[in-house]
Structures are given as structure tokens and as C-alpha cells.
Amino acid sequence: MRNLFERLKPEHIEKLKEAQTLYPATIPNLFLELELNTFWADLTYSCVFTLVSYLDLYDYSPCAIENLFDND
């Protein structure tokens, strides 16, 4: 099974990579956590907060988080 980083939709990866220049510690930590997990519900609140903040998501709902990833 692919990890969450591998399943993160390309448009989200690009947006996060753009933010990495402004936040050089936060984004690599986020990418690491995504690489270490295969299910979005296992993410820490900090990781979810970072995704919601940097991707301008509408809320913290499970649907909003699940829709960031390709489901295989």
C-alpha cells in the first residue's frame, strides 16, 4: 500500500512545496509524517492542522482530509 505522501494529490504537493520556502521546518516535517503513514486517520492533529492551514481547506472534517488523497 502506498503511503500518504505518495497518495497526496499533485496539486497539493505543489502548493506545499511553494510554502516550504517560507516555512522550511514545517513542511519537511509534514512530508515525513505523510511518508510514515498509510491512513489519514493516523495523522497527528499537528499534521492535520498544517494541511488545513497551508492548503486553505474549508474545515477539519474527515471528508476534507480524506479528499486530499487518491484512494487506491
Phi first, then psi, for residue 43 (nearest 5°) are -70, 150
Q: Are 69 and 4 in contact (CB under 8 A)?
A: yes
Evaluate whether residue 40 is within a structural domain. yes
Domain-located, residue 47: yes
- Rounded to whole angstroms, what are the CA distances from 60 to 25, 37, 57? 22, 18, 8
Asked whether residue 13 is domain-assigned, the answer is: yes
Provide the domain limits for residue 48: 4-66
- Residue 72 within any structural domain of the chain: no
Helix/strand/coil for 2: coil
pLDDT (0 to 100) of residue 13: 97
Q: Report the alpha-carbon distance of residue 55 to residue 11 in Å, rounded.
A: 10
- Domain count of the fold of the chain: 1
Residue 71 within a domain: no
Over residues 14-46, the pLDDT tens digits come to: 999 999 999 999 999 999 999 999 999 999 999
pLDDT of residue 71: 85
